[in-house]
Amino acid sequence: MSPVALTLFGSLFILLILNVPIAVSLALSSVVTLFIFDIPLSIFPFTMYTATAKFTLLAIPFFILAGTIMEKSGISKRLINFANLVVGHLKGGLAIVTVLTSCFFAAISGSGPATVAALGNMLVPAMEESGYDKGMSAALLSASGAIGIIIPPSIAFVVYGVVAQVSIGKLFIAGIIPGLLFGLTLIVASLIVSRKYNIKQTGAATGKQLRKAFVEAIWGIMTPVIILGGIYGGIFTPTEAAGVAVFYGLIVGLFIYRDLKPKAVPSLLVESSVSSAVVMLIVAAASLFAWIITTQGIARDLADVLLSITSNKYGILMIINIILLIAGCFIDAVSAYYILMPIFLPILNIVGIDLLHFGVVMTVNLAIGQITPPVGVNLYVACGIADIGINRISKSIVPFLVASLVALLLVTYLPILSLGLPALMGM
């Protein structure tokens, strides 16, 4: 490995070990490398600005704001109520409800931690009251929340689309079936785990109850329909769709459900601005890191190393999966796209792996990273909600981690799961 690569990755690793925030770690390691190897420091502000000054990235703050509004507008509790009436009476029904509502809310928020935060205060206590172990409940919610970056609209897909120059609209469609498959494997795992608990079962809902719950939840169910329908109907772009989602959420929260009060809107704007600033700071810092990887020949050297191991497409995918799973334990999805895509892109082009398919594979990998210690962000959000330690949830997450890996293998080696729906839609 070259001295530049050793300095860049070595300093980053040390900073991460010291628990320095990822954005600061990326920026500091990049600046140190620029300074030591006499690369003009003027590239620092220029690269960070050009990385963030992109129209497409406007979708990120809008989707974050939309998710925050949906969380506070009462949509989540109505989705949970509807799902509970549909399948809650089944054996292990509340576990199924957790996964189903996570899929619904994922199609609203586009974020894993946001999905866990929005649903956790209702689902974890309900599961515990029904006889589920608290650690298992929090672990299932964490794993289900990871669907948030796979099912559209996904903030992760927006970033990947910008980095890899792939259509964000196609990525959204490509993520639907893999996201549902991810949820299905979690349902199977939860039903197996639930067998050792004495679960209380509720009676089946009447037709009248189901109709009433559906009518109340329809505004939340319609959110992804409006967003995706507008994109693929040619009415608006993914970035404009994010803005539409914000206004739709405000109308539902303020005037239809009326759970969102006008005086709460300013605090929602502040909360969303802080979250957006964190993401965009990571984008800016990671872009400088990626610039050094590309211009200093590090990406080419690392690509050559991987290709020297094997040039078989399936072998390359397995090696990349392992790298991504390890990376997901330490860095977030946004950083991973910017750091690793310059390395992977030449390899993908040489061995003939479709970038749309790979975008889904990489995103599923990084979704799993949200539930793997030590930096699994979903785990920490769920720990705070359930008031348990990271050790307890780390043990409980194992069966759901195994289920997630099964989904990853299927998505990796069955490209039709990602490419079939876009092809069917003529994309």
In this prediction, residue 223 carries a pLDDT of 81
**Does residue 316 have a pLDDT over 90?**
yes
Q: Quickly state the pLDDT bin for 299 (edges 50, 70, 90).
A: confident
Buried b (16+ CB within 10 A) or exposed e, 133-160: bbbbbbbbbbbbbbbbbbbbbbbbbbbb
Residue 79 neighbours by CB under 8 Å, 6+ apart: 101, 104, 105, 217, 220, 221
Length of the chain: 427
94: confidence class by pLDDT, cuts 50, 70, 90: confident
Tell me what pLDDT residue 357 has: 97
> How much is the average pLDDT of 46-68?
84
Provide φ and ψ at 338, rounded to 5°: -70, -35
- Per-position DSSP letters for 280-340, written without gaps between them: HHHHHHHHHHHHHHHHTTHHHHHHHHHHHH---HHHHHHHHHHHHHHHHTTS-HHHHHHHH
- Alpha carbon distances (Å) from 375 to 84, 110, 326, 328: 31, 19, 11, 8
- Mean pLDDT for the stretch of residues 232-251: 85
C-beta of residue 421 within 8 angstroms of C-beta of residue 176: yes
Q: Which of 393, 367, 402, 405 is nearest to 190 (CA)?
A: 402
Token duo for residue 56: 């497409």
Query: Mean pLDDT throughout 147-170?
Result: 89
Residue 201: predicted pLDDT = 67
d(CA 96, CA 226): 25
Are residues 422 and 170 in contact, defined by beta-carbon separation less than 8 angstroms?
Answer: yes
Q: What is the DSSP letter of 216?
A: H
Which whole number is the average pLDDT over 188-196?
Answer: 87
pLDDT in tens, 122-133: 888 888 888 888
Please name which of 353, 422, 368, 349 lies closest in space to residue 175, comparing C-alpha atoms: 422
DSSP secondary structure, 275-296, as one string: HHHHHHHHHHHHHHHHHHHHHT
Residue 110 contacts residue 148 (beta carbons within 8 Å): yes
Residue pair 107/153 in contact by the 8 Å Cβ criterion: yes
Q: How far is CA 182 from CA 49, 144, 179, 314, 389, in A?
A: 36, 8, 5, 21, 26
Give the pLDDT mean for 360-369.
94
Domain boundaries, the chain: 3-424
Check whether 302 has a pLDDT greater than 90.
no
- What are the helix (H) ranges across 2-42? 3-17, 22-36
Those residues whose C-beta lies under 8 Å from the C-beta of residue 118, and which sit 6 or more positions away, are: 67, 70, 71, 76, 105, 109
